Amino acid sequence: MAAVSVFRPGLFKHKVAIVTGGGTGIGRAISVELLGLGCRVVISSRNAQRLEAAAQEMRQQIPGGSSPASVSALKCNIRNEDEVKALVSAVLERYGRIDFLVNNGGGQFPSPVEDMSSKGWTAVMDTNVNGSFHCCQQVYRAWMKEHGGAIVNIIADMWRGFPGMAHSGAARAAVDNLTKSLAIEWAPSGVRVNAVAPGTIFSRTAMENYKESGPELFKLSVPNVPAKRLGVPEEVSSAVCFLLSPGASFVSGATLRVDAGQSLYRSLWEIPDHSAWPEAPAGENRDSLQDLLNPKSKL
Ligand code: ADE
Task: Quote the ligand 1 centre to 280 CA distance (angstroms).
Answer: 47
CA of 256 from ligand 1 middle (Å) equals 23
Per residue, what are the HEC states of 139-204? HHHHHHHHHCEEEEEECCCCECECCCEHHHHHHHHHHHHHHHHHHHHCHHHCEEEEEEEECCECCH
Task: Compute mean pLDDT per 10 residues along the chain, 299 residues long, and list them.
Answer: 84 98 96 97 97 96 84 98 98 98 94 98 98 98 98 98 97 98 99 98 87 88 95 98 98 98 93 96 97 83
For atom 6 of ligand 1, which residue has the closest CA?
Answer: 77
Q: If you take atom 9 of ligand 1, which residue's CA is the nearest one?
A: 45
Confidence at residue 2, expressed as pLDDT on a 0 to 100 scale: 59
The residue nearest atom 3 of ligand 1, judged by CA position, is 106
What's the distance, CA 235 to chain centroid? Answer: 12
134-to-31, 139, 182, 276 alpha-carbon distances in Å = 20, 8, 13, 44
255 and 239 in contact (C-beta within 8 Å)? no
Tell me, using a 6 A CB cutoff, whether residue 199 lines ligand 1: no
**CATH architecture assignment, domain 2-270:** 3-Layer(aba) Sandwich (3.40)
Question: Which residue type sits at 17?
Answer: A
| CB-based contacts of 290, cutoff 8 Å, min separation 6 | none
Distance 71 CA to ligand 1 centre (A): 18
Q: How many helices, marked H, and strands, marked E, lie in the chain?
A: 11, 7
Q: How far is the CA of 279 from the centre of ligand 1 (A)?
A: 46
Instruction: Tell whether ligand 1 has an atom less than 6 A from the beta carbon of residue 126.
Output: no
Q: How far is the CA of 110 from the centre of ligand 1 (A)?
A: 17
Domain ranges of the chain: 2-270
Alpha-carbon distance of 196 to 248, in angstroms, equals: 13
**Residue 79 near ligand 1, beta carbon < 6 Å:** yes
Q: What is the pLDDT of residue 72?
A: 98
**Does the beta carbon of 77 lie inside 6 Å of ligand 1?**
yes
pLDDT for residue 63: 72
What is the rounded CA–CA span in Å between residue 100 and residue 192?
A: 10
Q: Whose CA is nearest to atom 1 of ligand 1?
A: 105
Tell me, in angstroms, the distance from the centre of ligand 1 to residue 282's CA.
53
What does the DSSP 8-state code read for residue 221? Answer: H
**Cα-to-centroid distance, 78 and ligand 1 (Å):** 6
Closest by CA to 240, choosing from 248, 228, 232, 230, is 248
- Residue 107: CB within 6 Å of ligand 1? yes
* Ligand 1 atom 5, closest CA: 77
Cα 152 to the center of its chain, rounded Å: 9
Looking at residue 65, its pLDDT comes to 72
C-alpha span between 158 and 272 (Å, rounded): 21
Residue 90 identity = A
* φ and ψ at residue 101, rounded to 5 degrees: -125, 125
User: Which atom of ligand 1 is the closest one to the Cα of 106?
Assistant: 2
Q: Is 20 in the pocket of ligand 1 (CB under 6 A)?
A: yes
Give the pLDDT score at 64: 73
C-alpha 261 to ligand 1 mean position (Å): 28
Q: In what order do the strands lie in the sheet with 40-45?
A: 70-75, 40-45, 16-20, 100-103, 149-154, 191-198, 255-258
